[in-house]
Structure 1
C-alpha cells in the first residue's frame, strides 16, 4: 500500500495559507482488493517543534481532516506527515511508510503588512498606459530566505534583477475587489544577489479598470495601485522588510495600452525612463469606507498551458491569416525578423472564417461597447534582426489571427498560440467507438479550459462574464473534467459578498457588468443599458438579476460541489446565501401579477406559491425554429447590402437599443411561471437538504414542506390531465421530469415528451436550462434508445452538428456555426458530457454518500456504440469503466479506488457490491 496526493486546503504544498485550521487530504492505493482505511496518524511540525500529533485515529476518512494543533503563525512553514493503516477484503492489515508534505502560512494579521499602497497609474480618457514601478535595494551577505508578497488594483507582473518572480498570470485574480483582494507569495532568494538589486513591477488595467466583462472602463476603480512586501531573512537571525513606500519610482514605458479585451499597444522603441516618485494612497473601499480584506490566493493559479503553432495562409480577401487549429483562450508569442524601426505589426484575434473564407470577428463583436479595439495587439518595431513579444495582460478567444504589417516569410515557431487558464488538475476523460462523440467530449473540455480563467466566464471573447446560469448548468461536468473544489469555493464566496439586500443574487459575480461604484452610473453606462443599478448589498441590481435558473445557482452550485467532493464546508459557507435566495423567490411569488388575475391558481388562492412575477430569462437560447433560421440565412447570404451613412448607422443602433429595452421591460412584466416555479420548488428542496445536513432541523422541515406544497401546486395547475404543459416545446417536460414535479401525471408527461421528440425528428429543441437533463431523463425512464438517437443526430440542431462542421469548442447557440452570430466557445451545452460519464460509462455519484465514498456503476449501452471508456479521478482515486460489445456479447472492466465501495448494475440487471480493485465481467 502507498499514500499519495497529499494536499493542504485542496492544493499541493501551498505557499501561503490563511486558514487557521487548514484541511488535509490524501489518497491510498493498493493492489489488494477491498482495501479500506482503518486509521490515520498525522504529525505536523514547524522546524523542531511539534505543533500537532493527532495520535492514532480510528477512521476511514482521508479527506478534509482539520488541523487541531497549536495556533498557527504568520509565515510559519509547517511540515506534516501522515501514516495510515488499512485492511483488505481478506482482513489482512496493510501499512505504508510516513508520507510527507508541507505548507506555508500567509500573513494572518493586518499588522504583518509593513508595506503601503502606492498609486502609479492615473486615469485618462481613451486607452491607458501600463505603469512601470521600480525600487533599488541592497542585499547583505548571508541571505538564507526571501519571500515576496504582492497584490494590485489592476494586474501585475513582477521582476527581480530582470527575472520574472513567478509563472502565474493575471494576478491577483478576480474577486469582489471592494470586499477582498488576493495576494500572492513567492520564494525569490534564488533571484537575488549580494549587493545591489532591482525590483520592477508592471501594472495594467485588468478587471479592476479595464473594459472586460462588457462594462465601461473603471468598473471598480480609476487608478492603478500596488502593494508589495519583500522579506529578507539572514543567517544572523535578522529580517529586513522592503515594502512599497515613497522610495519607489514610477514611469511610463513601451506598453502604451494593455486591456484584457481590447488588447495591447506596444512600442519597442521606447524605454521606461523619466522616473519620478510614486504617491501613497489609502485604497479605501467605496462600499465599506475601509481597505478591502487582503487574503492569500484561495484557488489554483492561472498559468500558460498548451501551445499551438500557427499555419499561415491567405484568406479570400488576400489577408495573411494564421490558423492555430484549436479555439482557445490565450494569446500569441510572436517572433518578428528583420524589422524596420517604426514598422507597425497588428494581430487581430478571431474564432472563425466567414462563408466566403474571410477572417471575421462579426460573430462576437456585435456589442455596442464603448471600446476602441477588439482583441488586437499592435506592436511597433524597434528595428532588429529578431524581436519577440507576448502580451502579459491581454487574453483573447481565438483560433485564427489576422496579421497586418508583416511581409517576411513566416518560419516554424514564429507565431505560437499559448492557452491560458486556471491550472486545475484534469480528472476525467471519455472516449468511445463514435469518433464524433469522442471529439465532442474533447471540445467540451476545451470550452472549459477556454472559460475557466480564475472564474468561470461565459465566453473568452465578447462578454467574459461569470454568468451564473451557464455555471450552474455545467458545474457537474466541470468537476468531472477537472478538480474544481478550490476554484468553486473561492468563487462562491464572492456571490455571498455581493448578494443584494433583498436576497437576490447577481446574474454575474464578481459583478463586472453591474456598477458597484455610484460614480460609474454616468451617461456612458446608462447609454448602454438604462436599467443599470447599484450592485451588492447596498443596491438592488439590474433588470434580469431576479431571474430563476440564474439566481438558483446560489443553491445548485454549492450543492453540486458538495455532492462531488463531500466537504460540508462548502454548504456552511453558502447556506445563508442559498436560504436568502429562496426567501427572495418566495417573496416574489407572494407578489401579484395583474396579467394573471384570472388564472385558476390565483382564483383558488394558490397564487402565493406560484412565481409569475419578476424578470425571467426562461428557457434561454432554445433551439426551437433554428433549422428555418439557418435555411433563410443561406438563401439570402449573398444578397447585396446597401452601404449605410453614419447617420443611418447611428439610427440603427438607437433602434436596436430601443428594441432591447422593450424586450427587457416585456420580460420583466410577463414573468415565466412554468420555468420559475419549477426552479423555486427544486431550490427549496435542496435548501431543505442542506439544512438537514447542517443540523438546522427547523429550516429543513419548513423548506421541505414548502417544496412539497409547491410541487403539488405545479402538478395541479401547470400539467394538464393528459400531461400537456406547453405544446411545441420539449423543455417544460424535461424540466418537470428532472425536478420531480409531475406527481401522478409522470407517465403522461413522459408520453408528451416522447411525442414532442418524435415530432421534431428526434432532434432536441431545448435551451440552456433544460438541455443537460434531456438525455438523463430519457435514460432514467427506460428510453435510452431515444436518448442515443438524439445524441447521435448529426444534423441541426444537435451536439454533433458543430463537430462535423469542424468546431473545436462548444458553440453558444445551436445555429451559431452557420449564422455566425454568437460565441463559438461557450461551455454550457457541453454539459451533455454528464450523460456520457454517468450513463454511457455509468459512473454515478451517490447523493446519500457525497464525495464518492460510495458510488454507482451502471453502464447504459446504446445507439451505434460498440465501445466506451471513461476514467474519473475522485477524492479517493481513479474510477475506470470500460465496456465493449461484440459478437460474443457485452464485456465490462471496472476499477474501484481504495477506501470506496461501488454498487455495480450490469445491463442484464445483475447487481454486485464491489470493494476496491479491478474487475472483469
Structure 2
C-alpha cells in the first residue's frame, strides 16, 4: 500500500511562540458568570500549527477584580488539559477572578500567555439570599387560565456604581426588566427542573442598565411548567404549585466598597397586564390594549397596583445553571403563503421547527389575529390531529397604533405550517417570521457525504435535536406531552454529544433524574422531571440512569459525572437485581419493549416482535456491566468485582434461557439479535457468528426495510458491522421503501418522525394516537454514521486518542465528518475516485490518532497532532453473490449493485420505459417481490429480452465462480 504523508507528520521542534491558548472553560461553561461551584475544573484548547504538539506542562495565574495577582501555580508537569482540578483557594460567593495560562510542549517550550478569562461565582450558600419569594396578593381560580402577573419596585442608586448583579428566579417562567430594558436574552427562564428539589436561578450583569437616581426593576410571570397544564390525556395543572412567585436580589457594589441590595420583599407591587393567558401546550393570548406603558421604568404611577405577599420556599433548592439557557437562535422566513381548500390562509416555513411566530401588523384596535400551528398538512389543511389536546394557538388583539410587533413570551410550538386568521388586509411574507428557540448549545459535530438523501437525513436529526433540547431532552415539541422521556435520550445521547456540547445540559437533567428517583425508592421514572407520579421500572427507559452518565464519560472524559451519579446508578441496578431475583431474568412486570416496532399495530405500539423479557434481561446485563466499569473508573474495587460478577451471571442466565447453542435468540427478531451482539451477551465466537448471520438474513429477508423499534434501531447497524456485515448495514441505511430511514426523507420530512410511517405514502397521517413528526429517537443512527461511515470516533474517553477508521460502501463515494472535541477540531474526510481512496485527517493538538485505511492491504498507522493526507488503491468489497435467475426478485437483483447495473442496462436496451417505471416508484419499484420472469412477462414479444437476461445472469454466475470483477 502506498501512503502519501505530509511533511508535517514529523514533529517540528521550532520555537513555540506560535502556540496559543485559544479557549478556557470552567466546568462546561464558556461564559462563567454565576458559576455554581467553588472549585470549577478547567479545560483549555491549544491552537498551534505545529505537528505532533503534545503538552508537557502548564502554568496558571488568577487575578482579583482589582487586577492584582492572587495566586499562581508555577509550572505544573502534566499532559492534562481537560477538566483539570481547580488548583487555587475555593471561590467565595460573588467572587470574581480572571485566569490566564500558558502551556509547555515536550521540548520544554512555553506558549505565549493567554488572554484573561473571567470566572465569577454565584450565590453558593443559601444564607446569601436575603430576598424572599413574593406573589401577587389577589386570589386566583387554580383551575382556570390565569393572566400573567407584573411585579415592580422602585429604588434609588447612588453615584459611583462599580458593578451590579441581578440574581433572579421564579416559580413559573419570567422575563425581567430594568428601567424599561429586558434583562438578558433568556427564553422561558428559569427553565424546567424537578422544582421541588432543584430550582435554577440566573445571574445577570446589569451594571450598564443602572443610572444614578431613581430606578425600577420589574418582572413578568407566566405559568410555564410550574403551574401550566402538563401531561397527556388532558394533563394536570398546578403540579408544582398554584401561585406564581418571584425571587430577585439586585446587588450593587459601589466604588467605595459598599454594597446595596434591592430584594423582593413586601414593598413590591403587582398587577395584571396584556398577557391574558399563557400555556406551554395551548399558546398565549395577548391584548395589546391592556399594555401598561412604562411599567418597568421609574416614575410610573402604580397607585392602583396591589400588594404582594410572601411564599414560603426552601432556598436550599436553589442551584446555578449547569448548561446554557434557552435563547432565540435564528429566524426562518416563510417560503410560501397559500389558501387552503377551505379558504384558510396557510404559511409554510419550509422547515419543521420549534419556537414561535413574530408578527408585524397594522390594523384597527380590537382586531384579533389567531395563529394556529402544525407540523404537516393533510388534504391541504392544517394537520392538527397529532397535536391531540394541545391547542397550539396564539392570539393577538391589536392596540390600533402604528405598526405593532409581537412575539409570544411564555409558550413554544413545534410547527412548519401556520394558519393565520383575522389578519387585517393582505398577509405578506415579510409580515411574519418564525423564531427558532432551543437551548443555546455549542454546535460540535458535522457530517456530509455524496448521498443527498443521507445528508437530508442527518440534517433532520440535527433539527430534531434542536427542537427537543429545549431546557430538557423531550420526546416531542408539539403535542400535549413534551416530556423528558428517559428512553428517548438513553438511545440518542451519543448522537447528541457528537452534534452539540451537551455535557452541562445532560448533567443537569441527570441530577433531576436522581432527585425524582429518590422519591420513588430507586425506580427511575418514565419522564424526568417526573410529572406522572409513581411508575414501574422499565428496561431501556429507566436504564438511562446508567447509560447516559456513561455516554458523558465516554464523550467528554468526565469521571466527575460518574461520581455524581453513582448513587443513582447503583440504586437502579440493585433494584433490577432484586426484581430479577436469583434467576437473574427480568421477565415480570410492565415493559415498553421494542417500542414502535413498525410491525406493531398503530394503537398498540408495545406489541413488538422482540420478546419483552429478552429486551429487559439484555438491558439488565448491560447496566450491570457498565456499573462495574464505572466502579473501576472511580477506584471502587469491591463494587467493580461485585457488579461485573452480577453482569456475568445475567449473561449466563440470558444464554441459558433465551439463546440456543447455535446462536438463535428467542423471538428470532432483528432487535433481539442486535441486543445480543451489541451488548456482547453471547459467550463464544461460534454463537456470535451464527447470530450475526441470522441477523443479516433477517435484514435481507425483510428487503432491507427496518424491522426494529426504539430499542433495536440504535444498535442494529453496529451489530451488523461487528460481525462483518457492513454491506447489510449500509443497505439498511440507504433503503427508501417504507419503513426505512430514508422513506420520510422521500416524503419531504425535515425532522425525524416518531413512527417510520408517521405520514403514509398517500400523504395522510398515520392513524395512531402517537404520531409526532419531530422525535429524535430513530435518528440515533447518526452516531453510527459519524463513527463508521464518517470514520471518526474516540478510542479513549474524551477523544484524547482518536480512532480514524472510514468504511466506504453502499454507493457512498465521499464523506466528511468533523467534531469539535475538548482538545480542538478533529476531522476525517474521504473520497473514492479512479480506483483510489483518499483520506484527509485533522488531529487536534495534545491528542493522537490510530488510523486504519481500508484497501487491498489494510494497515494501522499511528500519528500525532497535525494534518494528514493518504491515498491508497481501493475497490469496494462486494458481498457474496446469491445465485441469480429469472426467478430472482427485484429486491435480490437490486441488492447486488453489479448485477443490477447489468440487468438494468439490458432491460433499458429493450424497453427504456420499463426502467423508468421501476425507478419512478409507480408500484413496480415498491414491489420488490416481483421476479424478473414476471417483469419480462409485462412486455409483449419478450423472447429476446428473456434470452438476453438469461445470458447476463449466466455471465454473472460465471464471474462469481471465477472471482472475476466486472
Q: 1:230 aligns with which of 250, 273, 282?
A: 250
Shift of residue 750, structure 1, vs aligned partner:
1.2
Q: Which residue is 2:113 aligned to?
A: 97
Q: Which residue is 1:428 aligned to?
A: 445
DSSP 3-state at the match of 2:23: strand
Conservation of the 8 A alpha-carbon contact between 1:586 and 1:609: yes
Q: Which residue is 2:877 aligned to?
A: none
Conservation of the 8 A alpha-carbon contact between 1:268 and 1:382: yes
CA distance in 2: counterparts of 1:237 and 1:703, whole angstroms: 56
Q: Which residue is 1:587 aligned to?
A: 578
Q: 1:294 aligns with which of 318, 342, 357?
A: 318
Q: Which residue is 1:283 aligned to?
A: 312
Q: 1:777 aligns with which of 710, 719, 729?
A: 719
DSSP 3-state at the match of 1:137: strand
Shift of residue 780, structure 1, vs aligned partner:
2.2
Conservation of the 8 A alpha-carbon contact between 1:282 and 1:291: no
CA distance in 1: counterparts of 2:315 and 2:44, whole angstroms: 37
Q: Which residue is 1:189 aligned to?
A: 207
Q: Which residue is 2:458 aligned to?
A: 441
Moved more, 407-416 or 700-709: 407-416
Q: 1:352 aligns with which of 361, 369, 376?
A: 376
Shift of residue 795, structure 1, vs aligned partner:
1.1
DSSP 3-state at the match of 1:107: coil
Compared CA separation, residues 70 and 93, structure 1 to 2 (3 A): closer
Aligned residues: 823
Q: 1:58 aligns with which of 74, 77, 83?
A: 77
Conservation of the 8 A alpha-carbon contact between 2:464 and 2:775: yes
CA distance in 1: counterparts of 2:513 and 2:486, whole angstroms: 10
CA distance in 2: counterparts of 1:618 and 1:475, whole angstroms: 19
Are positions 1:834 and 2:783 aligned together?
yes
Q: 2:237 aligns with which of 211, 217, 220?
A: 217
CA distance in 1: counterparts of 2:649 and 2:860, whole angstroms: 36
Q: Which residue is 1:882 aligned to?
A: 829
Compared CA separation, residues 86 and 423, structure 1 to 2 (3 A): same
Conservation of the 8 A alpha-carbon contact between 1:178 and 1:292: no
Q: Which residue is 1:711 aligned to?
A: 651
Are positions 1:559 and 2:550 aligned together?
yes
Q: Which residue is 1:636 aligned to?
A: none
Shift of residue 152, structure 1, vs aligned partner:
0.3
Q: Which residue is 1:758 aligned to?
A: 700
DSSP 3-state at the match of 1:281: strand
Are positions 1:734 and 2:694 aligned together?
no
Q: Which residue is 2:794 aligned to?
A: 845
CA distance in 2: counterparts of 1:274 and 1:786, whole angstroms: 74
Shift of residue 399, structure 1, vs aligned partner:
0.6
Q: Which residue is 1:608 aligned to?
A: 583
Q: Which residue is 2:636 aligned to?
A: 696
Shift of residue 484, structure 1, vs aligned partner:
0.9
CA distance in 1: counterparts of 2:700 and 2:558, whole angstroms: 42
Shift of residue 407, structure 1, vs aligned partner:
4.0
Are positions 1:473 and 2:413 aligned together?
no
Compared CA separation, residues 312 and 300, structure 1 to 2 (3 A): same
DSSP 3-state at the match of 1:778: helix
Shift of residue 282, structure 1, vs aligned partner:
4.0
CA distance in 2: counterparts of 1:723 and 1:106, whole angstroms: 57
Are positions 1:8 and 2:63 aligned together?
no
DSSP 3-state at the match of 1:824: coil
Moved more, 231-240 or 864-873: 231-240
CA distance in 2: counterparts of 1:470 and 1:220, whole angstroms: 24
Post-superposition Cα deviations, 1:25-45, rounded to whole Å, max 9, x if no partner, equal 101122121110010011112
Q: 1:23 aligns with which of 41, 61, 66?
A: 41
Shift of residue 66, structure 1, vs aligned partner:
1.8
Shift of residue 291, structure 1, vs aligned partner:
4.3
Larger radius of gyration: 2
Post-superposition Cα deviations, 1:603-647, rounded to whole Å, max 9, x if no partner, equal xxxx62111112110000012268xx8xxxxxxxxxxxxxxxxxx
After superposition, residues 147-546 of structure 1 pair within 5 angstroms as 147-214=165-232, 215-272=235-292, 275-284=304-313, 290-310=314-334, 311-337=336-362, 339-354=363-378, 356-365=379-388, 374-462=391-479, 463-500=481-518, 501-514=520-533, 541-542=534-535, 545-546=536-537
Uncovered stretches (5+) of structure 1, i.e. residues with no partner: 285-289, 368-372, 515-540, 591-606, 630-658
Conservation of the 8 A alpha-carbon contact between 1:614 and 1:671: no
CA distance in 1: counterparts of 2:308 and 2:154, whole angstroms: 17
Are positions 1:116 and 2:136 aligned together?
no
Uncovered stretches (5+) of structure 2, i.e. residues with no partner: 1-18, 293-301, 871-966
Q: Which residue is 2:14 aligned to?
A: none
TM-score (norm 2): 0.83
Are positions 1:721 and 2:661 aligned together?
yes
Post-superposition Cα deviations, 1:501-533, rounded to whole Å, max 9, x if no partner, equal 53211111111333xxxxxxxxxxxxxxxxxxx
Shift of residue 292, structure 1, vs aligned partner:
4.7
Are positions 1:917 and 2:859 aligned together?
no
Conservation of the 8 A alpha-carbon contact between 1:247 and 1:277: no
Compared CA separation, residues 417 and 212, structure 1 to 2 (3 A): farther
Post-superposition Cα deviations, 1:547-593, rounded to whole Å, max 9, x if no partner, equal 01001101100001000000110000011111110111011112xxx
Shift of residue 213, structure 1, vs aligned partner:
4.2
Shift of residue 281, structure 1, vs aligned partner:
2.4
CA distance in 1: counterparts of 2:280 and 2:196, whole angstroms: 20
DSSP 3-state at the match of 2:387: coil
CA distance in 1: counterparts of 2:682 and 2:449, whole angstroms: 34
Q: Which residue is 2:596 aligned to?
A: 621
CA distance in 2: counterparts of 1:166 and 1:488, whole angstroms: 23
Q: Which residue is 1:522 aligned to?
A: none
Post-superposition Cα deviations, 1:467-519, rounded to whole Å, max 9, x if no partner, equal 010001000000000011111111111111111453211111111333xxxxx
DSSP 3-state at the match of 1:808: coil
DSSP 3-state at the match of 1:269: helix
Conservation of the 8 A alpha-carbon contact between 1:342 and 1:382: yes
Q: Which residue is 1:809 aligned to?
A: 751
Conservation of the 8 A alpha-carbon contact between 2:135 and 2:311: no
Conservation of the 8 A alpha-carbon contact between 1:246 and 1:277: no
Post-superposition Cα deviations, 1:751-798, rounded to whole Å, max 9, x if no partner, equal 211121121111120000110111111122211111111111011011
Post-superposition Cα deviations, 1:715-768, rounded to whole Å, max 9, x if no partner, equal 222012343324562111111111111223111211211121121111120000
CA distance in 2: counterparts of 1:409 and 1:620, whole angstroms: 46
CA distance in 2: counterparts of 1:754 and 1:624, whole angstroms: 18
Conservation of the 8 A alpha-carbon contact between 1:85 and 1:96: no
